[in-house]
Chains A and B, each alone.
Chain A
Amino acid sequence: MDAPSTTQVQQVREITRIERIGAHSHIRGLGLNDSLEARNVSQGMVGQLKARRAAGLILEMIKEGKIAGRALLIAGQPGTGKTAIAMGIAQALGSDTPFTAMSGSEIFSLEMSKTEALTQAFRRSIGVRIKEEAEFIEGEVVEIQIDRPATGAGAKIGKMTLKTTEMETIYDLGQKMIEALTKEKVQAGDVIAIDKASGKISRLGRSFTRAKDYDAMGPQTKFVQCPEGELQKRKEVVHTVTLHEIDVINSRSQGFLALFSGDTGEIKSEVREQINDKVAEWREEGKAEIVPGVLFIDEVHMLDIECFSFLNRALESDMAPILIMATNRGITKIRGTNQQSPHGIPIDLLDRLLIITTKPYEADEIKQILKIRCEEEDVEISDDALNVLTKIGRETSLRYSIQLITLSSIISRNRKAREVTVDDVKRVYEVFLDEARSSDNLREYEQYFMFNDLTTDQRPTEAAMET
């Protein structure tokens, strides 16, 4: 029985995708010490000591969970780490506290009104910790077998055998479960628990009986006993759901299927009121606990005056999460009006905000960040090349020089070198223009571009429209 199972597992492994590297995937926290002072370089964060210390204080406030409806504004030039700080807060909060990240422009949708989108975002950021009895399938995986159709297309089908010390059952797997199992990298010998209601798989560890002398395993591999008794169990579990999820489940007869399809539509305010009452009741009875989370709105200047006044009101509710906003605008027009205001946010809302500012990075900080990004992207780089990149970062922008890392590593790989050198960086720098050189280029060859003859009298009005 062992031989077929191992070959099958290898099949499972080969379709596992590696995680992609995002712009902020190097951030693992805020990088603070126990007294909430920011360490200069820690957890992927560099510099911005004051802003990070401020964020740390906010983090403590969120963790205490007593204060509702506070708002924080992170203001600073482009590329000074505003989003990074927000991500750091999210990482430091852990997975049990809801953190919703959205961009200001996301609320403009034809299917949903602006305030509905904002309300949903608010309610996504409030968690309710409920104790519920749930049904689980818990057992040791004896064998997973996934058959793909010969044509390559079409649904995959599979079989999984689970066992406890007393019994054994074969399950037929559907497409969704196959994907989930592949994602969790479940193999024969793992002990897993599947929540019957949500289909969520948790790996509890590897079975003792499967432990062999020469198994290659990570340091975090945990060995557990094979479960006893029946495969299906009822257990009392504590889990966190967001208010939005409860809204959706209760607003339709269809139930939680809408959560997966993403088609939630507008939710009636009566449903929300009813849920608020019920949740308050649960809390009094000790059945549930409210976990206020964080709503992060990036590019907050994209919201218009209606949204801002909605925010004013929404922050007063005792069910409001902590609101974190970020903007890179200075004194500019409030969207939807002709009024000028700092950060494009009305003064009355600004008055409710705590404001942190981020400052442009110093040369050595830029170097640190580039170094961290190189590690994150698995790029070996020589010191000289790093210095050149730092110089480029200082003179153009940090984002531009970060982008050069990957590209120059491709060039160095093409000439089969192990390290990125100054020449590689130079070549990429010549091929790809940064924003300033591109503007210069435009200015120089302006007259050769399309629709150029109009620009002489159009330019002033266009400049006025740009805010």
Chain B
Amino acid sequence: MTATAKSVWIEKLKTAKKAGLLQNDRKKIHYTFDDQTEMVEEYDATTNVLLIRKWRQKSSTGLKTLTTSDSWIFEVGQNYETRPTMDNTLGMTESTTTPIFSRNDKSDCFEIRIRNLPYSIDTYQLTIDKDKREFVLRTTSRKYFKRFSIADLDRLNLPLEETNLSYSHANNTLIICYKKPKAILDFEKQVHDELKKLNMKKEGDSDCAVS
């Protein structure tokens, strides 16, 4: 089962239109899939650690309506621009003291950092909802709650194991680690080998060829 899920995803990556760019020691790869969905990955050029993976979905209907937006959704990493400014259309922004959720991977584990969480470590309760394939973070003070999933595990259809999970708290930040299973490490190696074949444009090259 895992093997087929893996091959489906890697086929999808292989068939996607890819464009690569090497800029500021970052390898940036832009994928366009058959359904016009776009994905951008940024890797550290020396360590090959994934820094950013973001998605942009074309609305299924093709036409814009009020609720569809064409902004990037970050799976890994964070937007360079800090926070949306006050003049957004909603007229309402989260206060600067609200927790910020982001995923920053390490080479051997998926790491989730939630900044601006001042509560002590015994406040947090981290459980796994196996039916929905989601991690559930609760606080006993009822101030913060989050359901999240790690898309990489879903793509390869790997089980969520509590034994791989650990968390720590320091400097107002809760750090959640999920050790990468061997299947993930193998798979990432395969992707890197694939990407090596891709023609990377250096910064300053004018045309961005699509291969």
Contact = CB atoms under 8 A, between A and B. Distances in A.
Interface string A404-416: 0000000000000
A194 B144 CA distance: 19
Most buried by B among A163, A165, A196, A282: A196
A265 interface: no
B142 interface: yes
Contact of A230 (B69, B95, B139, B147): B147
A170 interface: yes
A354 interface: no
A169 B68 contact: no
B113 to A, nearest CB: 18
Contacts of A241: 65-66
A229 B92 contact: no
Interface string B124-165: 000000000000001100111111000000000000000000
> How extensive is the interface on chain A, given as a class?
35 or more
A250 interface: yes
A272 B171 CA distance: 55
A202 interface: no
Contacts of A168: 142-144
A173 B67 CA distance: 21
A403 B98 CA distance: 55
B89 interface: yes
A132 B65 CA distance: 9
Contact of B87 (A174, A196, A197, A256): A174
B94 interface: yes
Contacts of B95: 159, 169-172
A176 interface: yes
Nearest to A251: B64
B90 interface: yes
Contacts of B69: 197
Given A197-B67, A245-B66, A176 B91 contact: yes
Contacts of A173: 91-92
B86 interface: yes
B61 interface: yes
A130 interface: yes
B137 to A, nearest CB: 10
A167 B64 contact: no
B66 A198 contact: yes
A204 interface: no
Interface in A116-136: 130, 132-135
Given A180-B91, A196-B90, A278-B61, A167 B143 contact: yes
A170 B97 contact: yes
Contacts, number: 97
B67 A135 contact: yes
A165 B142 contact: yes
B65 A229 contact: no
Interface string B174-197: 000000000000000000000000
Contacts of A287: 61
Contacts of A278: 61-63
A256 B92 contact: no
B93 interface: yes
A464 to B, nearest CB: 52
Contacts of A178: 91
A65 interface: no
B110 to A, nearest CB: 20
A174 B89 CA distance: 10
A174 B98 contact: no
Contacts of A160: 92
Contacts of A196: 90
A197 B65 CA distance: 10
A186 to B, nearest CB: 12
Contacts of B139: 167
A213 interface: no
Contact of B64 (A159, A172, A249): A249
A101 interface: no
A172 B66 contact: no
B98 A170 contact: yes
Give the 10 A-B CB pairs with smallest separation, nearest first.
Answer: A176-B91, A166-B145, A177-B91, A174-B91, A167-B145, A170-B95, A197-B67, A134-B67, A177-B92, A199-B90
Interface of B: 61-69, 86-98, 138-139, 142-147
Interface of A: 130, 132-135, 159-160, 163-178, 180, 194-199, 229-230, 241, 245-246, 249-250, 255-257, 274-275, 278, 282, 287
16 contacts: A132-B68, A134-B67, A135-B67, A166-B145, A170-B94, A172-B92, A172-B94, A174-B86, A174-B87, A175-B91, A197-B66, A199-B89, A245-B66, A249-B65, A250-B64, A255-B64
